[in-house]
Structure 1
């Protein structure tokens, strides 16, 4: 008896995806609800669970193929997987585009008969680790992210970073040889590119800057971080301060938290905060909802959870939907200043940057203070310059005097 494996519902308005990776090979035993494939959509990576227990049968599509919701992509046969011969996978058409996965990773996975999760697979590629030389500590000996990171720190033998897609690499490259590699953009990267360009083409983008003295926030954090973590079970970071400060500013200047829909302006009496985080396939912006009602601990927990799931490729469509205002922290990568692009249909985004000691004047004296540049990019069609500048100044003042966050000033 055979069971069809179909592409699951992927979310509102999502009708197709790209088959990113097969997690099971024909002939392998499969448990019910066990992930057997990963799909890449416009926003997130989605795992396809097995509809029934049995043996992995024929793979009807190849990695890199586009599949529609409801399409049959594989079969699961009855049995235990110990004596069933492996069915032959569908052949790859000669003119089909090369899969996104590199030939290095494919070679390693095939030679070791490994099953890597999407997050582990991406980490292996990023760090250049040969998975056949790393012992897995997960279920059934599978590799985990911690295994790969430990191998990287321990100096595990590294695999070549890339290989030409068109032809096998020579055993030894000649000195000064120039190479190129052509890799198809992932569906997520294509969507990111389109949305960012659409934002530039549609919105009247403008950026206003300010700088903020981080002394007060850093002092408060250092004073209370141990007791905060002991009570709430989460570390006290800077993002919760900026989230609360943003809520203060958005309350006073509702246009910064509004959206244009047709010939109408939609104002929100709530703040659904999109937090830009780095995921294996690119930048994503999951949403923390009703931030204006949350305390510091709740904000830190929510952001930490979304960040972890983004790195693990475990975000859902619901995590990405909505959002009225965005905070992007380029400072974690060392960025000193930038002009962030808004996340449509939102009208503004706050850009944070690295903290560095700089000379400033205080009471007529030159002193050294930990300073950060702030950038607020906004849609000038809906937000006037006065509103944008004053909103950013409100955020600056709240960070420099956190007491304002407590008394709503």
Structure 2
């Protein structure tokens, strides 16, 4: 047996997990036929590199959340709970990084992601994945938390993330986390936001088209929602609209119907609910 102090590199994770204890998570899931995305990505790749699956999900989900203001929200608890509904959409992306010689989970926030083109989202996510967390300015706050004594670190984390006005900048208004680089079917996560999307691995699976069974690339997509903020029907609509947007990406009437290069402008979800 070997006992050692809790690693400083993971203190921010401990503060985060302590902060989300009050969350009331409920888990939904859908299988997304990624044939349209794969076709769009292949065309975009011919023009200089295709965006990642995560970039497509961020693009589609941001526009769906903009059309669902009840879900693009955050709760502050206590004796007088308050819910804030945001007029901007910010995505928190979980990252598998190494810092101080230790493997850790870090997160980066993409502000105003509902106004970004697909290629801009792809460039931003690629930058965060390739960047050094020990030098990038976006991770300066985590480096400060790592240096502070634990009691002060907990207070600093709470002060930075609890105020509703700061949430879009510090925690995003929705979260995306992916383990699609591993052979996982389903992955459920609680990201500290009202809506968290979890991506499994895209793999060819049997689907039914026109009464016939065929193989198609399928993405297992989970949605965790905080039941304190929204109910299941609203969350199911959000997941359904994201699925619809991805399955119709680049098609007339579908989200992402811009140029093959992926510079589609802002648009709403592919369908509306009465």
TM-score interval (norm. to shorter)? 0.7 to 0.9
Alpha-carbon separation, structure 2, partners of 1:218 and 1:304: 18
The 3 A distance-change label for structure 1 pair 212 and 329 is same
Alpha-carbon separation, structure 2, partners of 1:335 and 1:395: 20
Q: Are residue 334 (structure 1) and residue 183 (structure 2) matched?
A: yes
Q: What SS does the aligned partner of 1:361 have? A: strand
1:288 to partner: Cα distance: 1.0
Aligned position for 1:374: 221
Aligned position for 2:108: 286
1:391 to partner: Cα distance: 0.3
Q: Are residue 256 (structure 1) and residue 74 (structure 2) matched?
A: no
Structure 1: which 5+ residue stretches go unaligned? 1-179, 230-234
Alpha-carbon separation, structure 2, partners of 1:293 and 1:318: 26
Name the count of aligned residue pairs.
Answer: 222
The 3 A distance-change label for structure 1 pair 323 and 310 is farther
1:332 to partner: Cα distance: 1.6
Higher relative contact order (Cα pairs below 8 Å, separated by 6+ residues): 2
1:309 to partner: Cα distance: 2.0
1:313 to partner: Cα distance: 5.6
1:261 to partner: Cα distance: 2.1
Q: Deviations over 1:142-165 (max 9, x none)?
A: xxxxxxxxxxxxxxxxxxxxxxxx
Contact kept, 8 Å, 2:66 with 2:114, in 1: the verdict is no
Alpha-carbon separation, structure 1, partners of 2:170 and 2:72: 16
Aligned position for 2:2: 181
1:183 to partner: Cα distance: 3.3
2:130 counterpart (298, 303, 308): 308
Q: Deviations over 1:303-337 (max 9, x none)?
A: 11112225666343369834111110111233211
Q: What SS does the aligned partner of 1:333 have? A: coil
Alpha-carbon separation, structure 1, partners of 2:70 and 2:108: 22
RMSD: 2.1
Give the TM-score of the pair, scaled to structure 1.
0.51
Alpha-carbon separation, structure 1, partners of 2:76 and 2:116: 28
Give the TM-score of the pair, scaled to structure 2.
0.75
Matches within 5 A, 1:160-309: 180-199=1-20, 201-229=21-49, 235-262=50-77, 263-280=81-98, 281-309=103-131
Alpha-carbon separation, structure 2, partners of 1:265 and 1:271: 16
The 3 A distance-change label for structure 1 pair 361 and 300 is same
Alpha-carbon separation, structure 2, partners of 1:257 and 1:330: 24
Contact kept, 8 Å, 2:133 with 2:139, in 1: the verdict is no
Q: What SS does the aligned partner of 2:87 have? A: coil
Q: Which runs of 4+ in 1 moved over 6 A?
A: none
Contact kept, 8 Å, 1:278 with 1:311, in 2: the verdict is no
